[in-house]
């Protein structure tokens, strides 16, 4: 199965009634078991594009479709920066929420919920409420909730940006561990170039508005161990290549 983004464009009407083009002529695909990362300067339309792929926004032009899937509505798992766990539900109850909505039998909900809670390392906290969790633990609960519906596509919009640097590094490592177990088609948005290089199979670099694809960069590194000494120089070269593509647009965005 692959997800095809074909000639996608998006325009909005701003508060002054002007038409603003957020995205223009976006074309790429997410292949089977591929982790694709979107990067670009502020205001380039990364989150808008992710929301279009996730069906939360309609494109003004173009289309998004799933090849090789028979269901009319593909199964999606979404993790946002603000996880928005239900505060009145425990970790377990949050994780199985999507399964309840799908009407799965209670026994199956318990089985699947416990499986993904264990996968993200929260088995000892499954009866805890969100207010009792650290930021990283809340993110892990949100990831487990997204995984529990066993999605055809996992969408992640800057899920670690609100975390401190140490927790963010640990969460990146945990995410790769989880991904290597699930091999889900994934579209991930980040401002962080090093994070993009660390996680991605391919990095899609977007330009400042209107967002267009500047370049698609394949990351020719093993999926795990990219922080090891033997790969650091090559990782740094990828990060520098991406930064040189973004730098001017980022400076212009800062002026605004």
Let me know if residue 202 belongs to a domain: yes
Instruction: Specify whether 229 is located in the same domain as 165.
Output: yes
Banded pLDDT at 254 (limits 50, 70, 90): confident
Let me know if residue 243 belongs to a domain: yes
Reported as a single tens digit per residue, the pLDDT across 109-134 is 999 999 999 999 999 999 999 999 99
Instruction: Specify whether 176 is located in the same domain as 231.
Output: yes
Instruction: Specify whether 145 is located in the same domain as 158.
Output: no
- Please give the pLDDT value at position 154: 95
Let me know if residue 80 belongs to a domain: no
The answer, yes or no, to whether residue 239 has pLDDT greater than 80, is: yes
What average pLDDT does range 24-38 have in this prediction?
A: 96
Q: What is the mean pLDDT of the chain?
A: 91
Let me know if residue 102 belongs to a domain: yes
Tell me how far apart the alpha carbons of residues 66 and 144 are, in angstroms, rounded to a whole number. 23
The answer, yes or no, to whether residue 84 has pLDDT greater than 90, is: no
Instruction: Specify whether 167 is located in the same domain as 141.
Output: no
Structurally, the chain folds into a number of domains equal to 2
Instruction: Specify whether 57 is located in the same domain as 181.
Output: yes
Tell me how far apart the alpha carbons of residues 251 and 248 are, in angstroms, rounded to a whole number. 5
Let me know if residue 227 belongs to a domain: yes
Banded pLDDT at 256 (limits 50, 70, 90): low
Instruction: Specify whether 64 is located in the same domain as 92.
Output: no
Reported as a single tens digit per residue, the pLDDT across 186-230 is 999 999 999 999 999 999 999 988 899 999 999 999 988 888 889
Q: What is the pTM of this model?
A: 0.92
- What CATH number should be reported for the domain holding residue 182? 3.40.50.300
Reported as a single tens digit per residue, the pLDDT across 127-172 is 999 999 998 899 999 999 999 999 999 999 999 888 888 989 988 9
What is the token pair recorded at 177? 């561990």
Let me know if residue 55 belongs to a domain: yes
C-alpha distances out from residue 17 to 53, 138, 172, 206, Å:
26, 39, 41, 26
In the listed set 101, 118, 150, which residue is the last one of a domain according to the structure? 150
- Please give the pLDDT value at position 72: 66
**Window from 1-5, 15-19, 171-175 with minimum mean pLDDT:** 15-19
Instruction: Specify whether 9 is located in the same domain as 98.
Output: no
Instruction: Specify whether 189 is located in the same domain as 69.
Output: yes
Instruction: Specify whether 63 is located in the same domain as 157.
Output: yes
In the listed set 105, 126, 150, which residue is the last one of a domain according to the structure? 150
Let me know if residue 129 belongs to a domain: yes
Q: Which domain holds residue 126?
A: 85-150
Nearest to 250 by CA among 192, 200, 199, 197: 192
Banded pLDDT at 71 (limits 50, 70, 90): low
Instruction: Specify whether 102 is located in the same domain as 189.
Output: no
How do 186-189 and 76-80 pair as beta strands? unpaired
Instruction: Specify whether 221 is located in the same domain as 98.
Output: no
In the listed set 125, 150, 175, which residue is the last one of a domain according to the structure? 150
Instruction: Specify whether 167 is located in the same domain as 136.
Output: no
62 in Cβ contact with 3 (< 8 Å) = no
């Amino acid at each position: 199965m692959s997800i095809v983004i074909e000639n996608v464009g998006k325009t909005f009407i701003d508060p002054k009634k002007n038409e603003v083009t957020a995205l223009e002529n976006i074309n790429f695909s997410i292949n089977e078991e591929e982790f694709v990362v979107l990067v670009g300067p502020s205001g380039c339309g990364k989150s808008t594009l992710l929301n279009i792929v996730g069906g939360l926004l309609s494109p003004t032009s173009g289309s998004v479709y799933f090849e090789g899937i028979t269901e009319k509505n593909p199964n999606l798992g979404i993790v946002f920066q603000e996880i928005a766990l239900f505060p009145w539900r425990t970790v377990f109850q949050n994780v199985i929420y999507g399964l309840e909505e799908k009407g799965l039998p209670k026994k199956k909900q318990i089985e699947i919920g416990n499986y993904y809670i264990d996968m993200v390392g929260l088995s000892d906290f499954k009866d805890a409420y969100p207010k009792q969790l650290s930021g990283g633990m809340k993110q892990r609960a949100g990831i487990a909730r997204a995984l529990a519906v066993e999605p055809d596509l996992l969408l992640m919009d800057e899920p670690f940006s609100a975390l401190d640097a140490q927790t963010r590094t640990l969460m990146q490592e945990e995410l790769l561990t989880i991904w290597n177990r699930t091999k889900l088609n994934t579209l991930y948005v980040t401002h962080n170039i090093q994070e993009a290089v660390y996680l991605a199979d391919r990095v899609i670099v977007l330009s400042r508005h209107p967002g267009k694809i500047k370049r698609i960069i394949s990351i020719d590194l093993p999926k795990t161990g990219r922080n090891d000494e033997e790969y650091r120089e090559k990782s740094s070269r990828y990060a520098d290549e991406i930064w040189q593509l973004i730098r001017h647009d980022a400076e212009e965005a800062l002026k605004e």
